Amino acid sequence: MVAEAKDVAPDTAARIRSVALDLFGRQGYEKTSLRQIAEELGITKAAVYYHYRSKVDILDDLLRPLADDEEMVLAEARSGLKSIEGRCRLVESYLDLLLKYRDVAVYVMSDIVGASNSSMVTTLQRHDRELVTLLAESDLSLSERVRVLSAIGAMTTILTMSDLPVDELRPLVLEAARDTLGLTKGDPDLGTSDP
């Protein structure tokens, strides 16, 4: 039985986002309705509308924290990446970001058309272009640029391994990134800090 809106828990907005992300991931954005989200939660559609005027608002709220954290990572990197080591730190920060928002990132990659309904997608795309630009600036040799961009590409594939725990996956991905970047295990520049 559907609960009355007055019985809605205070964390309803977070629960709405969680259920919406699950439904978007399983059946796609376009095939998910606010009614389905409400039914999954056992609340009324009116209770969903109390928190979100539309499905797009839910999607925006799902993507906004990722976009905001990407902006912080890029802001730190803009101060200058003058070495392969600086770029390695950016690669590590980006990996931690992907792992933190793995469910959201997996959804976006699997339902690009649905995710594009969000105004946040433009911001995420701009951030991706800036990340590539920062990492592959012309002061690196062609070989170094290819290695850095290969490391980023390899990290995005970890999203397909969403069944593995982060603490198990992170060191393996950092080791693969280190190998791709041509760093030895003794180099302290990548993978020594915790997320």
Q: What is the pLDDT of residue 138?
A: 62
- On whether residue 72 sits in a domain, the answer given is yes
Say if residue 139 is in the same domain as residue 44.
Answer: no
Neighbours of 16 (CB within 10 A): 26
Check which CATH number belongs to the domain holding 79 and give it.
Answer: 1.10.357
Q: What is the pLDDT of residue 4?
A: 40
Q: How far apart, in whole angstroms, are the C-alpha atoms of residue 102 and residue 171?
A: 16
Residue from 184, 77, 68 nearest 135 by CA = 77
pTM for the predicted model, two decimal places: 0.81
Say if residue 21 is in the same domain as residue 82.
Answer: no
Tokens standing for residue 72: 């912080």
What is the domain range of residue 137?
57-181
Q: Residues 61-91: pLDDT tens digits?
A: 999 999 999 999 998 888 766 666 777 788 8
- On whether residue 32 sits in a domain, the answer given is yes
Say if residue 166 is in the same domain as residue 112.
Answer: yes
Q: What is the pLDDT of residue 192?
A: 45
Residues of the chain with pLDDT under 70: 1-10, 80-84, 138, 183-195
Q: What is the pLDDT of residue 193?
A: 45
Cα–Cα separations (whole angstroms), residue 38 to 14, 17, 52, 114, 151 = 13, 11, 12, 19, 41
Tokens standing for residue 103: 């469910």
Say if residue 21 is in the same domain as residue 114.
Answer: no
